[in-house]
Structure 1
Amino acid sequence: MKELIEMLHAGGYSCVIAHSDCIRTFTQRGVADLYDLLVTEPDFLQGASIADKVIGKAAASLMVLGGVAEVYTRTISEPALRLLQEAGIKVSCDEVVDHIINRDRTGWCPLEQASRDLQSAREIFPVIEKFISNQRKNA
């Protein structure tokens, strides 16, 4: 995990994931990389170690659904931490916050808000799917 954390900080990546002997780096914003991996390469997430800049409830749900083994993040929301811990995923972080804020720092992260009242990773997945689809249509 130490190597992943160093890569995350030094490389300016959004996420660094290790599975077996393979380490991959990611740069898309938000949960897009985790979503794409879960949909197209779910085996890569199974048992993986992840270093991520920020983990909100939506990102945590993708990690739970992917079967990730352990995560490190600079900042995690309380609901995300709870979701990961309930799934038995080892978590280390620098800061726990009430919720993740949006990029403009003017309110809640849209996915954090959208998943606020949902309890399980399975409930949250369709919300993420719709959000990603809308983002890509409008890009």
Structure 2
Amino acid sequence: MSDTMLRLLEEKEAACLIYSGETLLHHSQSIGVKPLLEFMEKYPEGYEKEDLLLIDKVIGKAALLLSVLLNMKTIHTPVASRAAVEAAKVHGVKLYAETVVPYILNREKNGMCPLEKSVLDTTDPKEALQNIREAIRILMAKKKDH
């Protein structure tokens, strides 16, 4: 990941930035896949340009497959999971990561991220979206129980 891209995250105080050329389309301080889901809501029919660039603090396989669904062609990140790197190769996405980790940790840092786990067995972006939504539904239900 180039220092310039990392500086953009810092300058804009963001966890995620989405560009089309020089135009900033989406800016989010949210973590995880939330910024990508927000972008999906903003452009439910997809964004017409094919030169989308994603700059994100962490890219796991869930985020990578959502990025494919959103037609991202290039991704810069300080940290990517090994599964995300493999999925990027499958889908022809240029993924630039400073560090590749075995997997993305959950928020408690004691195991695998549930969203990463939800997409381990697929490389299909549409199936991944369904799996991610179901995992989020389960996580939210657990949160309500506590």
Same fold judged by TM-score > 0.5?
A: yes
Q: Is 1:20 equivalent to 2:21 in the alignment?
A: yes
- Tell which structure's C-alpha radius of gyration is larger: 2
1:59 is matched with 63
Counterparts of 1:1-80 in structure 2, within 5 Å, are 3-23=4-24, 24-41=26-43, 42-43=46-47, 46-80=50-84
Corresponding letter in the other structure for 1:5? L
Q: How far apart are 1:72 and its partner, in Å? A: 0.6
Contact map agreement 2:54 2:76 (CA 8 A) in 1: yes
Contact map agreement 2:118 2:135 (CA 8 A) in 1: no
Gaps of 5+ in 2: none
Task: Give the TM-score normalised by the residue count of structure 1.
Answer: 0.85
Counterparts of 1:99-110 in structure 2, within 5 Å, are 99-110=103-114
Counterparts of 1:82-93 in structure 2, within 5 Å, are 82-93=86-97
SS of aligned partner of 1:95: strand
Corresponding letter in the other structure for 2:85? L
Corresponding letter in the other structure for 1:126? Q
Query: Identity rate of aligned residues, in percent?
Result: 26
Counterparts in 2 of 1:87 and 1:43: CA distance versus 1, 3 Å: same
Decide which of 109, 118, 122 is 1:118's aligned counterpart.
122
Contact map agreement 1:64 1:121 (CA 8 A) in 2: yes
Q: How many residues align?
A: 139
RMSD: 2.4
SS of aligned partner of 2:92: coil
SS of aligned partner of 2:75: strand
User: Within 1, Cα distance between the matches of 2:49 and 2:65?
Assistant: 12
After superposition, give the CA deviation of every residue in 1:60-119 in whole Å (9 maximum; x if it has no partner): 001111111101111111111111122111111111111101122111111111212223
User: Within 1, Cα distance between the matches of 2:35 and 2:136?
Assistant: 10
2:134 is matched with 130
